[in-house]
């Protein structure tokens, strides 16, 4: 049986996810945040950057922002995971205090380190418990991820992916400013100084998704963040460009494995 829970943490830049997945499969997608997934039971498989990975209990999966990947269970019994979703800006202090200058990357997508796994699992459970003092809530994430970054963090050369005359980051900023609008293909093509056909071809080659799928994911990622601020599902749907509530709920559940009303 599939069961997914999303939790807000004391730090708004950090969200917590706990899920049991059997039949639910993650189609190829990306995240706006860093995701650190702890496999606590069962076996998961996923494809990332053309490589197939198999992970099981004790493995930590590190998925940086904008990294295309999928995910599914390897057996009918499914798998269970705890996930940290952390906004990229949260790691800025680690960059400023280390020799990592261009960007934060990690040495591997899969970390097989029992000490790191145990540390992060304890942190995940503690932040969800509601039994920590305020100071402990503030300090614990930094203490835990400081250990991970110091051991596995590394310089990541920031690559500017360009679609015509515009970087992917600039294109995302444009779409984030127009989440509630009806965006047309010719608008994006003109922004990049390409024809619509050129734009679609260049975008798919660079990003690995169609512009429509990428924009839809962007809307749903933002919807998840807004739902955690206690806005109503209806208000969130309108803010991210879904004017049919049923369509929004269906798309959200298809993407995250739970309905908007189940997010807390």
Note the pLDDT of residue 101: 46
Task: Map out the domains of the chain with their CATH numbers.
Answer: 3-155 (2.60.120.10), 162-257 (1.10.10.60)
- DSSP symbol at 55: E
Q: What is the model's pLDDT at position 254?
A: 94
pLDDT in tens, 5-46: 998 888 889 999 999 999 999 999 999 999 999 999 999 999
pTM exceeds 0.85: yes
Confidence of residue 154 (pLDDT cuts 50, 70, 90): confident
How remote is the C-alpha of 112 from its chain's centroid? 21
CA gap 180, 236 in Å, rounded: 10
CA dist 228 and 226 (Å) reads 5
Exposure pattern of 148-176 as b/e (b: 16+ CB <10 Å)? bbeebbeeeeeeeeebbebebeebeeebe
pLDDT of residue 3: 94
Mean pLDDT of 50-65: 96
78-94: b (≥16 Cβ within 10 Å) or e: bbbbbbbbbbeebbeeb
């Amino acid at each position: 049986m599939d069961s997914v829970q999303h939790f807000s943490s004391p730090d708004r830049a950090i969200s917590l996810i706990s899920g049991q997945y059997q039949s639910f499969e993650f189609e190829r997608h990306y995240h706006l945040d860093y995701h650190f997934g702890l496999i606590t039971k069962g076996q998961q498989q996923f494809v990332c950057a053309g490589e197939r990975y198999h992970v099981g209990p004790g493995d930590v999966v590190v998925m940086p922002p904008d990294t295309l990947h999928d995910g599914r269970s390897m057996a009918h019994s499914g798998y269970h995971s705890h996930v940290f979703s952390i906004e990229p800006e949260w790691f800025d202090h680690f960059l400023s205090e280390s020799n990592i200058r261009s960007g934060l990357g990690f040495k591997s997508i899969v970390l097989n380190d029992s000490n790191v796994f145990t540390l992060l699992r304890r942190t995940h459970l503690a932040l969800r418990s509601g039994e920590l003092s305020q100071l402990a809530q503030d300090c614990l994430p930094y203490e835990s991820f400081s250990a991970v970054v110091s051991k596995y963090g590394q310089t990541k050369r920031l690559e500017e992916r360009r679609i015509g005359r515009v970087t992917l980051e600039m294109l995302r900023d444009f779409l984030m400013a127009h989440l509630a609008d009806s965006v047309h293909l010719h608008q994006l093509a003109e922004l990049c100084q390409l024809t619509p056909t050129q734009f679609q071809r260049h975008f798919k080659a660079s990003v690995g998704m169609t512009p429509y799928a990428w924009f839809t994911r962007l809307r749903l990622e933002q919807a998840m963040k807004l739902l955690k601020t206690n806005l109503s599902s209806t208000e969130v749907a309108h803010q991210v460009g879904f004017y049919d509530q049923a369509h929004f709920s269906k798309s959200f559940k298809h993407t995250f494995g739970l309905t908007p009303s189940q997010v807390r």
